[in-house]
Amino acid sequence: MDSQNTNMSADAKVLLSHAKTLRLHTGNLVNRSRMKKKCPGSPSEELRDCIQATLSAWFSSTKPPPTDPLETLVCSIPEAADAITPEEREEVKVSVKLFLCEPGQSAIRDAVEMACQTLAVSQLDSVIIAPPGPVEGDGQTLAHLQPAWEELEALVRSQKIAAIGTSDLDKDLMEQLYNWAQVKPSSNQVNLASCCVMPPDLTAFAKEFDIQLLTHNDPKELMSADTFQEAMREGVQDLSITDWRLEWVLRYSVIVKSRGIIKSKGYLVSAKRASP
């Protein structure tokens, strides 16, 4: 049995060594968490555990590689899939937060497409964007947000997304975005670690323009490059994994509307092999 597992792991490493893009789906964490003894202390720890566990499970069960290994390698656990049936679609709300780890509008479209395919839906109910942080020392500006927002607006027009929102905008930046945008933000997430009470000027603006204020506890950088490398190394048991960089992370929740409970939640992750 050990030699069989070793062969499977070797097969998976062949696939990984040829791939240029890695796409990973953690499956439904609501089911997974029941099997776990400890709860992760933060969103970053949860994501790290998920990447490591998903890669480990995929590596131990993957079939021998095809004749021509694919450029895009998709790692997922089939039994952990979260597909929504047509019968239940009206009963649930699909909410997404997209963390962009590097600039690039194609990443937004790729992430939304993958979420729709994974969950078997034609449209996401809401997407909140967390763009990559600005250059050290520079505050977030409208110019920094505009490219990503324009891509989200295009996805709203093509009916891939119903509503779009922002994260960690103060009143001034929220007002600038609202006045400029063709598709207005429907929500803004505020990190209560940085302010225990919602800022009154932001609250007043949001109330006037019907923008929902939500709270979150995500760090500014969801996952550092070093932590991602570490999670990959642990997942594939290979110390030579150093040339992959995180492109984006999408966290989704499927909520039963009538009861307000989370039916499923999980992460989709995309990484690119660094150019030599």
Please give the model's pTM, rounded to 2 decimal places: 0.89
Between β-strands 21-25 and 261-273, what pairing exists: parallel, antiparallel or unpaired? antiparallel
Whether the CA torsion 226, 29, 79, 99 is positive or negative: it is negative
- Sequence length of the chain is 276
State how far the Cα of 53 lies from the Cα of 57, in Å rounded to an integer: 6
State how far the Cα of 247 lies from the Cα of 127, in Å rounded to an integer: 17
**Segment 234-239 long-range contacts (CB within 8 Å, at least 24 positions apart):** 234/52, 234/56, 235/51, 235/52, 235/53, 235/54, 235/55, 235/56, 235/59, 236/9, 236/12, 236/13, 236/16, 236/55, 236/56, 236/59, 237/9, 237/56, 237/59, 238/13
Domain ranges, residue 222: 2-273
Amino acid 5: pLDDT = 44
State how far the Cα of 217 lies from the Cα of 149, in Å rounded to an integer: 22
Amino acid 120: pLDDT = 94
Amino acid 135: pLDDT = 54
Residues 6 or more apart from 184 whose CB is under 8 A from it?
A: 178, 209, 211
Digitized pLDDT (tens) for each residue of the chain, 276 residues in all = 344 344 446 666 777 777 889 999 988 887 765 545 556 678 888 899 989 888 888 877 766 555 566 788 888 876 666 789 999 999 999 999 999 988 777 899 999 999 999 999 999 999 999 987 665 555 678 998 999 999 999 999 999 999 999 999 999 999 999 999 999 999 999 987 766 678 899 999 999 999 999 999 898 888 988 888 888 888 887 656 668 889 999 999 999 999 989 999 999 999 998 765
Amino acid 3: pLDDT = 40
Between β-strands 161-167 and 124-130, what pairing exists: parallel, antiparallel or unpaired? parallel
Helix (H, G, I), strand (E, B) or coil at 2: helix
> How many structural domains does the chain have?
1
